[in-house]
Structure 1
């Protein structure tokens, strides 16, 4: 008997977009922001203890900010989705024939003949009209639905894990080696992050790595330059 799926043990990459986006964003921000902070402070010339304190403070504050920001923004997205779903429920109750015609028009626009489009719309509506409209009119699905807690957890945890790398390096290396050591570790971590993100999302490897590296190195370079020129913590 043929399998119901051509790849039952290999789900589509789109099912990962919710947590993957938040995780990559959190990890990238953790590496770039905390490494840049440490490099900028170290370039300004404070004692190693001050550099380490700045890094730890950046890690804690950044993780909380990322988690809260993800929760708030994704909650706003979820609220918008729920508002549209409520509107569809009301429209289906008040004018079901108009909603049926709207669904048929969507299928006709995708290439079905008018008769077939209407038949499909009728059969799907008879089974679950609201689900059909949510999926085909609003473009929403379980895989892509907003999940605030998932996004907040993924972003906050990956930020913390990634930011811990430059903090650990700043702690163990001599004061004179903080800037080059943190820069080297951050670059390596960004390249690894780009590769992992590309692999998890099914994207080409090289463009993803170069994109993450380019912006990360640019941010750290600017922060180092400001710290060196002004002699202040940035």
Structure 2
């Protein structure tokens, strides 16, 4: 039997609620939502969904959660460094990373200051931090459910080997190592078929050392799960999750015993 690709042109209609959005969609990626159901993802807007196996397919639209406050203003270039969407067994996973200026605990409200020292008049260095947030929904539902939110300084680094591979880490006031000195981008959710809040991301040092790592973070448990050095060398292309590895764990067939019996 010979297997070959075939092409079939599909004609369908657009649901009334999706007509205005579909015309503005610029797909960044395509995801499989179910048997025959495909989603074209615009990471700035949402997902156009269609079951291409139906006789009269209908397009409908799933809006993505609003951008986090730090991303709602200013120019928008590529969405890949800050947000991503994946799907496994009909469960859509959304993740976003927001960079923000970390609050200075020693800063006093200006209205409460009666005396200004020279140090108060100097421009203070901005300390940047980040947080990651996840959302989930079934493509057949009409609502998103929040997963977890974790700040960089909350994510602990417990494994000694991780601190060896990432020597730029410094401990907090309690003596615990966290990701406070790192900047994260290019988030990718795991393809587990449940809300596990495990996210893969690119991580760089704030020190300007030009070192970078690919890390796995459990946002629910707020821990660093795994990491691997990953030299950027001035270029990085967005990563895409794949379930191909599920089909590679094949148990080797038992070797046939060709020896002769006694």
**Fold agreement, TM-score > 0.5:** no
Question: Whose strand proportion is higher, 1 or 2?
Answer: 2
- Structure 2 length-normalised TM: 0.19
Question: Whose helix proportion is higher, 1 or 2?
Answer: 1
Higher relative contact order (CA 8 A, sep 6+): 1
- Structure 1 length-normalised TM: 0.21
